[in-house]
Amino acid sequence: MKAYFGRRYTISASHRLHADTLTVEENLATYGKCNNPNGHGHNYVVEVLVGGSVDPETGMVINLAALDEVVRTKVIERFDHTNLNLDPLFLNRVPTTENLCREVFALLKDALPAGELERVRMEETENNFFECSSE
């Protein structure tokens, strides 16, 4: 029987939204205050949803401690208290929360057993969030 297990984590990071292919004026028009030259930061919430059958011996879809370990090593240690623009993933890509969500999904998908990762939701503030699934 298929069920889903979800877990929320927090990462604090800074970023600046700026596209090298746009002019100064275009960047400002596109990104507004998110284009501030010295950047700004957020407390991001990463919500990880794993789907699978419930193991009859443990009653679990996935062991919480195992999921925590994957998220800690692949995502939290990589991005928490960092400047996202300096991460190699964002050298040529703007670290919007859409792109961050997609990269986190890819990092976790590779590290979890095949087919288990259902969705990643990345909340940038209380009022906006982005979701990525394997579609």
Partner 1 sequence: MIYLTRRATFSASHYYWNPAWTAEKNEQVFGRCARRAGHGHNYTLEVTVAGEPDTVTGFVVDLKWLRDVIDREVLTAWDHRHLNLDVPEFAVTESTATIPTTENLAIAAWRRLQSAVSAANGAQLSRVRIYETPEIFAEFRGEP
Interacting residues toward partner 1 by CB under 8 A: 1-9, 54, 57-61, 63-65
Among candidate residues 103, 124, 131, 135, the one labeled active-site is: 124
Considering the complex, state which of residue 7 and residue 74 has its C-beta at the smaller distance from partner 1. Answer: 7
Q: By C-alpha distance, which of 10, 102, 117, 22 is closest to 67?
A: 117
Q: How far is the CB of 59 from partner 1 (least distance, A)?
A: 4
Q: Which is nearer to partner 1, 68 or 87 (CB)?
A: 68
Check if 118 is active-site: no
The Cα 62–Cα 18 span in angstroms is 38
In degrees, to the nearest 5, what angle opens at C-alpha 37 toward C-alphas 31 and 41? 75
Residue 132: other Cβ atoms inside 10 A: 21
Name the residue among 113, 107, 48, 118 with its Cα closest to residue 78. Answer: 107
One of 34, 47, 116, 118 is an active-site residue; which one?
Answer: 34
Whether 34 sits among the annotated catalytic residues: the reply is yes
Residue 18: active-site member: no
Taking the complex as a whole, how short is the minimal distance between the CB of residue 48 and partner 1, in angstroms?
Answer: 11
* Residues that are catalytic: 34, 81, 124
